[in-house]
């Protein structure tokens, strides 16, 4: 079998601003390597100030932030939490670890986001929370979710892993609301595939006063260490549940270098996304595949550019064809209700839209630094595939 050529256009290429090493060196020279130092506080205050979040706490991963959400929401045995079937395992695992039953919801037919119109049918007296993903950085219908949550007394948790610097555009004459600031709790990711990265990292966002004081305790391994350093208590000890959720100060220093340049990064990514849309829309209009859409109540933070193929076999062939031409591409989530771990626990409902995205969605290379020339190369190879293999492009 012929070995594919090296990838000339990788799926992802983490962006480095140039200040990361200098800030990390500052940390090393300071002798303060553990978490919750000056760079940690800068990163947290950046999100609180820029996006109007009441309380932010950096974590070692988005998974950690989601686990903190589950703890703060008081989820436990006998509770139910509504979660998308089309998401990464962490969205569900955070609640399963607390002993809750996860109730999977289907995606929309026209977008991988959760089908908000079908949520009410999943609510029972045991429903404690609804957690949902802003897929590709595009907002879910937050007004509809908020109305449902208020009606039934449900806690709203935003998995905003992909949604840094993205907004929900609601009613007329109301300013767009940053994602991660709308639900009671939210979680962000700074994994190296995200717009803003520190390799591995995350952040808890707290927007409800009920959870602010306790969030620091959970963050600090269940101790009242924060109160001790404020002088509110004479000594600190074990007062609650929690874990070691803090990232190191070196991680925070890397992240700060990224946050300083967020406008530059976002401008570059949005230009790349627009180039993709312009290049691929004629193929989609010709019936080759379904192109990514942005709901009218969402802004686009250019986290991902994806298409939806017509079948799993078509997608498999397309990804392989791209690879053989030096282009990296990737599918995404596998339907969690069909996973080996949860299949027997699922209630048997068919989630056909989740399954379609699981089988047919493919993400194309998008990173800060990819240019129009590379985008057009991806377009040309995609055109060749659909012409020679599927015959769907004239």
Q: Are strands 306-308 and 185-189 parallel, antiparallel or unpaired?
A: unpaired
pLDDT tens, 285-315?
999 999 999 999 999 999 999 999 999 999 9
The DSSP H or E segment spanning 105 is strand 101-105
- Report residue 307: phi and psi, to 5°: -125, 160
Instruction: Give the Cα separation of 196 and 255 in Å (integer).
Output: 7
- The full DSSP string for 291-356 is EP---TTB-------EEE-SSHHHHHHHHHHHHHTTB--B--PPPGGGSTTTGGGS-----HHHHH
Alpha helices in the chain (DSSP H): 20-30, 38-51, 62-72, 89-96, 142-152, 212-219, 225-230, 249-259, 262-285, 312-324, 352-360, 372-385
Instruction: Give the Cα separation of 317 and 30 in Å (integer).
Output: 52
State the Cα torsion 94-166-193-83 to the nearest 10°.
30
Say how many Å lie between the first and final Cα of the chain, rounded.
30
Instruction: Give the Cα separation of 123 and 152 in Å (integer).
Output: 8
Whether the predicted model's global pTM rises above the 0.75 cut: yes
pLDDT tens, 343-385?
888 998 999 999 999 999 999 999 999 999 999 999 999 999 9
Q: What is the pLDDT along the chain (394 residues), one digit of tens a residue?
A: 556 667 799 999 999 999 999 999 999 999 999 999 999 999 999 999 999 999 999 999 999 999 999 999 999 999 999 999 999 999 999 999 999 999 999 999 999 999 999 999 999 999 999 999 999 999 999 999 999 999 999 999 999 999 999 999 986 667 899 999 999 999 999 999 999 999 999 999 999 999 999 999 999 998 888 877 777 776 789 999 999 999 999 999 999 999 999 999 999 999 999 999 999 999 999 999 999 999 999 999 999 999 999 999 999 999 999 999 999 999 999 999 999 999 888 998 999 999 999 999 999 999 999 999 999 999 999 999 999 876 666 6
Instruction: Give the Cα separation of 281 and 273 in Å (integer).
Output: 12
Query: Considering the domain 20-259, what is its CATH architecture?
Result: 3-Layer(aba) Sandwich (3.40)
Cβ–Cβ < 8 Å for 186, 156: no
CATH topology of domain 262-390: 3.90.1150
- Cβ-proximal residues to 101 (8 Å cutoff; 6+ apart), any chain: 79, 80, 81, 126, 345
Cβ–Cβ < 8 Å for 168, 180: no
Domain ranges (residues) in the chain? 20-259, 262-390
Q: Which two tokens stand for residue 212?
A: 């602010």
Task: Give the rounded distance of the alpha carbon of 353 from its chain centre.
Answer: 19
Topology agreement, domain 20-259 and domain 262-390: no
């Amino acid at each position: 079998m012929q070995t594919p050529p090296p990838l000339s256009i990788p799926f992802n290429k983490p962006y480095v601003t140039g200040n990361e090493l200098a800030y990390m060196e500052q940390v090393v020279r300071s002798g303060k390597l553990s978490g919750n130092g000056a760079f940690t506080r800068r990163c947290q205050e950046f999100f609180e100030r820029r996006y109007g979040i009441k309380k932010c706490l950096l974590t070692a991963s988005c998974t950690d932030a989601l686990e903190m959400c589950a703890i703060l929401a008081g989820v436990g045995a006998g509770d139910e939490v509504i979660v998308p079937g089309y998401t990464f395992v962490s969205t569900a695992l955070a609640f399963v670890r607390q002993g809750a039953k996860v109730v999977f919801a289907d995606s929309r037919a026209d977008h991988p986001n959760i089908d908000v119109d079908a949520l009410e049918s999943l609510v029972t007296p045991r429903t404690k929370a609804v957690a949902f993903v802003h897929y590709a950085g595009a907002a879910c219908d937050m007004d509809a979710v908020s109305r449902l949550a208020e009606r039934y007394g449900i806690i709203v948790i935003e998995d905003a892993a992909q949604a840094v610097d993205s907004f929900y555009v609601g009613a007329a004459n109301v300013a767009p609301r940053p994602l991660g600031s709308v639900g009671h709790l939210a979680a962000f990711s700074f994994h190296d595939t995200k717009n803003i990265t520190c390799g591995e990292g995350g952040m808890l966002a707290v927007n409800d006063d009920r959870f602010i004081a306790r969030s620091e305790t959970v963050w600090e391994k269940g101790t009242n260490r924060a109160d001790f350093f404020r002088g509110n208590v004479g000594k600190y000890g074990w007062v609650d549940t929690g874990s070691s959720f803090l990232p190191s100060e070196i991680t925070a220093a890397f992240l700060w270098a990224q946050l300083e340049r967020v406008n530059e990064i976002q401008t570059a990514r949005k230009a790349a996304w627009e180039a993709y849309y312009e290049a691929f829309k004629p193929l989609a209009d010709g019936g080759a595949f379904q192109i990514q859409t942005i709901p009218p109540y969402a802004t686009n933070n250019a986290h991902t550019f994806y298409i939806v193929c017509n079948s799993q076999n078509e997608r498999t062939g397309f990804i392989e064809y791209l690879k053989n031409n030096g282009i990296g591409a990737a599918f995404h989530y596998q339907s969690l209700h069909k996973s080996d771990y949860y299949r027997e626990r699922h209630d048997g409902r068919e989630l056909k839209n989740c399954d379609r995205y699981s089988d047919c969605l493919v993400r194309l290379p998008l990173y800060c630094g990819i240019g129009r020339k590379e985008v057009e190369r991806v377009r040309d190879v995609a055109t060749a595939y659909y012409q020679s293999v599927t015959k769907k492009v004239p």
